[in-house]
Structure 1
């Protein structure tokens, strides 16, 4: 599923590689947080990797970590592979198909799980599946990292987020900007506790959970 092409303004290049303009705007601020919260070594599973640009940037900057990109969409998987191959970064594993709603993931264990700009461009069942899967694959002390726009106590943090939410719901009534409290409740049900809510540029948040 590549609805994020339209939602996030992604465009195709020659070959299979896709490009998301938002990645260039947010990758450095996300990386600043990841440097602080991720373990020094281990396997990092990125779900809904999309174009694959994020994982290439993070893997290049954090070479002591192994990075496992994934996505449910074949077009995204081809884009991830194209970006990874073009980058020559050696610590990126082959992208794997992963639908977070499946009861069994193709990864048995990961030291951290990342989901960037996923939960608002997917039905709520995907958030529940993400939490359930993270609860299965993360060891004690393992981290789940989320990035994107969120409401706080049912209120949007900016008018632009309210407009974005309305646009998402017009595209698909099952999509929408989620409440931090609802996401955290779904996480807690799977043994994941919110450690930090970090304000980010453009009215986004980083949410860091620990198992």
Structure 2
């Protein structure tokens, strides 16, 4: 099992946001897709705290999928499906056999800053196809706003990411809003989190 100290620190606050945005639908069983599940710590915690969502974790890396499987086995999680390989930069038709209008919620935690613009486009166009009407896409990470990155620690993070991979870096909220709009989604909320991180909540119209 892989362990992310950051996931251990932030899962509770993320879970609170999820519980809040899904509360009005808590009377029924929902289906959620996590893009870039990483170690699997988040999805396992969410499953424990939000029993009315069945989760489909996914990741591009085999080691991450192995870690998620180990967490599922160790916690005996009943509402977490076995992880699938999913590359969000590919057309949604290639997303592990998921069907049009099949998801109530899609989450992407710390995915966009470690991804190419093509992946960001894929996340929003895929969400536009896979989410049911009124379904939610929630992204969490550090962002630029109107092309401006503040404070200086985020500027440093952006520079470090671009050094690791020129295609990476802090995505701009205004650009994401436009991608969302082009895919039939509207940005509904921006929630300030610890350490200058934000949750962005988009709804399918």
TM bracket (short chain): over 0.9
Partner in structure 2 of residue 207 of structure 1:
200
Query: Quick one: distance in 1 between partners of 2:8 and 2:146?
Result: 30
User: Which of 96, 118, 121 is 1:125 aligned to?
Assistant: 118
Return the offset for 1:171: 0.5
- 1:160-185 Cα distance to aligned partner (Å, 9 max, x none): 11110000001000000011001111
> TM-score if structure 2 supplies the norm length?
0.93
Partners in 1 of 2:139 and 2:76 — Cα distance? 26
Q: 2:52 aligns with which of 59, 64, 67?
A: 64
What's 1:136 paired with? 129
**Residue number in structure 1 paired with 2:84:** 96
Query: So what's the TM-score if we normalise by structure 1?
Result: 0.90
How much is the aligned-residue C-alpha RMSD, in angstroms?
0.9
Unaligned residue ranges in structure 1 (runs of 5+): 1-16
The structure 1 segments of at least 4 consecutive aligned residues displaced by more than 3 Å after TM superposition are none
Q: 1:186 aligns with which of 171, 179, 192?
A: 179
What is the CA–CA distance in structure 1 between the aligned matches of 2:15 and 2:171, rounded to whole Å?
Answer: 23
* In 2: Cα distance, 1:172 partner to 1:188 partner: 28
Q: 2:33 aligns with which of 45, 68, 71?
A: 45
Deviations 1:73-124 (A, max 9, x none): 1111111111111111211111111111222122111111000000000111
Residue 73 (1) aligns with residue 83 (2): no
